[in-house]
């Protein structure tokens, strides 16, 4: 990734040295990483909005409003995945590493796969 804004659902206060939330809809904050020329330029966090049953599009709209191009998840349901795809936000998958920094570095280096439909969970934060 040469240029864009990456979002990572994060626990606690987030940030590059934080831990990724297992399911995007139930994270505390989103860590947003601006990338230019293949390097991290800026890092901010934004609070997640209340996630209620059936409200899976709330975080989709929130991230779209913040000009996110890519999202890294360890779990996501089909409905929000389709919402991100409709918004033109690429969703990448990594369930192995909960630390934010290494998955962001892997995405920038082109080593993270796009999530496949077989990796989608049933929702509800079960992962």
pLDDT tens column, 41-96: 999 999 998 766 556 678 899 999 999 999 999 888 888 899 999 999 999 999 88
Are 126 and 120 in contact, with CB atoms under 8 Å apart? no
Residue 124 covered by a domain: no
Q: Which domain holds residue 13?
A: 4-48+60-119
Q: By C-alpha distance, which of 42, 2, 23, 33 is closest to 104?
A: 33
pLDDT of residue 33 exceeding 80, the answer is yes
Per the structure, the count of domains in the chain is 1
Task: Determine the number of helices (DSSP H) and then strands (DSSP E) in the chain.
Answer: 3, 5
Residue 54 lies in a domain: no
Report yes or no on 10 lying in a domain. yes
Burial class of 73 by CB neighbour count within 10 A (0 to 12, 13 to 18, 19+): buried
Q: Per the domain annotation, does 109 fall within a domain?
A: yes
**CATH code, 17:** 3.30.420.130
Is 125 inside any structural domain?
Answer: no
């Amino acid at each position: 990734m040469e240029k864009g804004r990456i979002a990572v659902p994060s626990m606690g206060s987030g940030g590059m040295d934080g831990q990724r939330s297992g399911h995007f809809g139930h994270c505390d904050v989103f860590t947003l990483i601006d990338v230019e020329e293949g390097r991290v330029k800026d890092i901010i966090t934004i609070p997640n909005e209340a996630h209620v049953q059936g409200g899976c599009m709330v975080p989709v709209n929130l991230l779209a409003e913040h000009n996110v191009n890519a999202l890294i998840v360890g779990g996501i349901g089909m409905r929000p995945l389709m919402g991100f795809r409709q918004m033109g936000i690429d969703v990448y998958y990594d369930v192995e590493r909960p630390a934010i920094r290494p998955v962001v570095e892997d995405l920038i280096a082109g080593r993270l796969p796009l999530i496949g439909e077989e990796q989608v969970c049933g929702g509800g934060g079960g992962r």
